[in-house]
C-alpha cells in the first residue's frame, strides 16, 4: 500500500495506518508516514485557515497535479472532511447555462403557471420566488403571487433570469 493510500485509509477509518508513527501534539493524535514530515490538522482547524495567505501557491499546486495525485487528494478529502468534499463537488457542478452558449440558447427559470420570472433570493431563503424587474440593473424585486412558483425553463429573453440578492 503506497503512503498516500495508507493515510487516506487511516483517516477514513479513524485508525492509524500500518507502520505509521503516531505523535501527540496538544492532546491531538496525528498520523504521519515519516516523523515531522507532515502535519495534518483536524478538519475543524483546517477549515479556519484564511484563503488569502498562500492562495497563489495553492492554485499553482493544484495546477501541477497529475490525474492520479488529484484522485488521491480528492479521496483523502472525502474521508477527512466529507462536508467540505460535498460542498466542493456541489460548487463545481456545471450550471445549466454552462451547457449552452450564451445568447439564443441560454435558458432562464420562470413560473409555468403565470409566466412570471422566477428566481432564488438568497437573503430571503432558498425558495423560488416570483419577481419583476431585472437582475442586471438591480431592479429585480420579488412579489407575492396567489400560488407558489411552478418552475420551468425557457429561452432567456435578454438578461439572465437567476437572481441572488
Tens digit of pLDDT per residue, the chain (165 long)? 566 666 566 655 554 444 444 444 455 555 544 555 567 788 888 777 777 767 888 888 999 999 999 999 999 999 998 988 988 888 887 766 555 555 556 778 999 999 999 999 888 888 999 999 987 778 889 999 999 999 999 887 755 444 444
Q: What is the pLDDT of residue 118?
A: 94
CB 112 within 8 A of CB 152: yes
Q: What is the pLDDT of residue 76?
A: 92
- CA-nearest of 12, 3, 1 to 75 is 12
Q: What is the pLDDT of residue 78?
A: 92
Q: What is the pLDDT of residue 159?
A: 53
Q: What is the pLDDT of residue 50?
A: 77
Q: What is the pLDDT of residue 164?
A: 47
Question: What are the grid coordinates assigned to 95, written together?
Answer: 450550471
Q: What is the pLDDT of residue 22?
A: 46
d(C-alpha 88, C-alpha 121), whole Å: 22
Q: What is the pLDDT of residue 156?
A: 79
Dump strand ranges (E) for the chain. 21-25, 28-32, 107-111, 117-120, 128-132, 141-143, 151-155
d(C-alpha 106, C-alpha 102), whole Å: 5
C-alpha distances out from residue 18 to 7, 26, 129, 137, Å: 9, 23, 54, 60
pTM reported for the whole predicted model = 0.39
User: Which phi-psi region, left, alpha or beta, contains residue 97 (left: φ > 0; alpha: ψ -120 to 50)?
Assistant: alpha
Q: Which residues of 59-84 are buried (b: 16+ CB within 10 A; e: fewer)?
A: eeeeeeeeeeeeebbebbbbbbbeee
Sequence-distant (6+) residues with CB within 8 A of 96 are 107, 153
Report residue 27: phi and psi, to 5°.
80, 5
Amino acid at each position: 500500500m503506497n503512503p498516500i493510500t495508507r493515510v487516506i485509509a487511516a483517516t477514513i477509518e479513524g485508525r492509524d495506518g500500518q507502520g505509521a508513527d503516531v505523535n501527540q501534539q496538544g492532546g491531538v493524535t496525528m498520523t504521519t508516514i515519516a516523523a515531522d514530515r507532515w502535519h495534518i490538522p483536524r478538519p475543524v482547524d483546517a477549515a479556519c485557515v484564511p484563503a488569502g495567505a498562500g492562495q497563489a501557491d495553492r492554485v499553482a499546486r493544484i495546477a501541477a497535479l497529475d490525474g492520479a495525485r488529484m484522485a488521491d487528494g480528492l479521496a483523502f478529502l472525502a474521508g477527512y472532511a466529507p462536508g467540505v468534499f460535498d460542498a466542493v463537488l456541489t460548487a463545481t457542478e456545471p450550471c445549466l447555462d454552462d451547457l449552452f452558449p450564451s445568447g439564443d440558447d441560454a435558458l432562464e427559470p420562470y413560473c409555468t403557471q403565470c409566466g412570471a420570472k422566477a428566481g432564488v433570493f438568497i437573503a430571503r431563503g432558498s425558495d423560488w420566488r416570483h419577481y419583476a424587474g431585472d437582475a442586471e440593473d438591480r431592479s429585480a424585486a420579488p412579489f407575492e403571487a396567489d400560488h407558489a412558483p411552478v418552475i420551468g425553463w425557457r429561452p432567456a429573453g435578454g438578461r439572465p433570469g437567476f437572481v441572488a440578492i
